[in-house]
Homo-oligomer: A and B are copies of this chain.
């Protein structure tokens, strides 16, 4: 047989194999593979049926817990973190769900898929593919409990807004300006407070997941708040017993962990939930840590008593403290205490609410973001303009943004995006906290509420030597302008701490508040 005939024969004989066997399903790296199985619908499957799957590639095995989705449907969701072929086998205490095997092919991620966000460079974040993630969050606590019309409006608003993270709650909210019943509830039962905490409501979770996936499409991280105190017994989700709390956590993690844009926030204002103790919160943190195969980011957000973010399960500090971002010299202090990324998720709200936490000016909100950025930390936005006609306030329900800060935060986001890959750190943390950057390469000097008319070129000595060349741009963080300063600046040692410009140059400044200088090293 000559080679061409052999090749033709092989081609012919192999072709039917490809035709007969089902193509293995394909999924992107950090995408979501879903294995759907049919099993028992009787009894209480949430309590009685165990299901998990082992996904294997070479030396890597990932155990993934499945969940019951109602009407005899069971699902196992898997977010593969490596490309190539994976095989799986299920294990269950029900024969219909046990021993199911299969293969999936994981392809490289799409252009907009950078994977989940991880901690990077101790104080910062990056997507799993290494792309820097500069957190610029907002909050709309119960936007997914408002019905489709308002929720879709919220998504349209987010699509045009600068935010790359949104914080929101699994449970509905009972609070001033938040008295409406939600369309669905996480548990089966009768509102307001007769629930079977052993039976989850698949319709509720399918809706929540749709919103999480839509956020992912928009490039927005979903910082899921698992517990909160704004229930006060109305529904009782704030005072379930320990077994129900733990079962709830495991179910939510089993359903949501495969969404790559998930962050876990154990609670909002955890210390205001008087039914829980510190050891409850630590147990919850450990449950989420051990249940989530992908190690999504984990934190817990305080009222007035900051959590001990040195606990090992905490990946970053999620802090409410508006005062801390009133100046970078405060904002930076928690970095040293925790040696983890610090996110000031709640710094009061731009708005006109008759509460002292709810009536910042837009200027003050933007100022707080810049202070946080300069300090090497991250800040979250919130908006509370009253809406007497319908009580729709962005802070809780979403809808539309009315404030003047988001446009300026878009400007900041652009500055962040153009900044160093390794993030912004304090340059000389206890001496002049107005400087953030990367020593020797990149400096942001933020003047805050000062109104400087000039600045003399002087930089801290760290990583400087004589003869380095820099350019300067003047940023008006409120007017959103970038004005290059003519000429270049060349370093020359001044004293034990400072380098100045060799020609002793100063630059004129317009005497306005909210100015910053961007000082960038020029290539030799």
Q: From the candidates B306, B322, B330, B355, name the one contacting A330 in the complex (CB within 8 A).
A: B330
Binds B, one of A11-19, A110-118, A335-343, A400-408: A335-343
**A387 at the A/B interface (Cβ < 8 Å)?**
no
- Distance to closest chain B CB from A181 (angstroms): 28
Q: How large is the interface on A (under 10, 10 to 19, 20 to 34, 35 or more residues)?
A: 20 to 34
| A193 CB → nearest B CB, Å | 30
Is A431 part of the binding interface, using a Cβ–Cβ cutoff of 8 Å?
yes
Q: Do B356 and A497 touch across chains, with their CB atoms under 8 A apart?
A: yes
Q: In the assembled complex, which residues on chain B have CB atoms less than 8 Å from the CB atom of A356?
A: 431, 496-497
Most buried by B among A304, A329, A336, A354: A336
- CB-based contact B431/A308 at 8 Å: no
A321 at the interface (CB under 8 A from B): yes
For the complex, is A305 an interface residue (Cβ under 8 Å from B)?
Answer: yes
Q: Indicate with 1 or 0, residue by residue over A416-440, a CB within 8 angstroms of chain B CB atoms.
A: 0000000000000111010000000
Given contacts A323-B329, A326-B329, A333-B324, contact A339 B308 (CB under 8 A): yes
The CA-CA distance from A433 to B324 in the complex, in Å, is: 11
Centre residue among A305, A308, A430 by max chain B CB count within 10 A: A430
Cross-chain pairs A/B with CB under 8 angstroms, 14 sampled: A304-B430, A306-B337, A309-B337, A323-B429, A323-B431, A324-B430, A326-B329, A329-B330, A330-B333, A333-B337, A337-B338, A354-B496, A356-B431, A356-B496
Q: Which residues of B sit under 8 angstroms from A354, Cβ to Cβ?
A: 496
- Residues of chain B contacted by A429 (CB below 8 angstroms): 304, 323
Q: In the bound complex, how far is the Cα of B356 from the Cα of A354, in angstroms?
A: 45
The reply on A310 being an interface residue by CB < 8 A is yes
CB pair B337 A305 closer than 8 Å: no
Please tell me if A251 contacts chain B, counting CB pairs below 8 Å: no
Q: Please give the residue numbers on chain A whose beta carbons come within 8 Å of chain B beta carbons, in ascending order.
A: 304-306, 308-310, 321-324, 326, 329-330, 333-334, 336-339, 354-356, 429-431, 433, 496-497
A322-B430, A333-B333 known; 9 new pairs, CB 8 Å cut-off, are A305-B336, A306-B336, A323-B429, A323-B430, A330-B330, A330-B333, A333-B337, A337-B337, A354-B496
Contacts of A337 in B (CB 8 A): 306, 309, 333-334, 337-338
Give the docked Cα–Cα distance between A29 and B431 (Å): 47
| Residues of B close to A496: CB separation below 8 A | 354-356
- CB-defined contacts of A306 to chain B, threshold 8 Å: 336-337
Q: Complex Cα distance A420/B336, Å?
A: 31
**How far is B429's CA from A322's CA once the two chains are assembled, in angstroms?**
11
**Residues on B with beta carbons closer than 8 Å to the beta carbon of A338:** 337
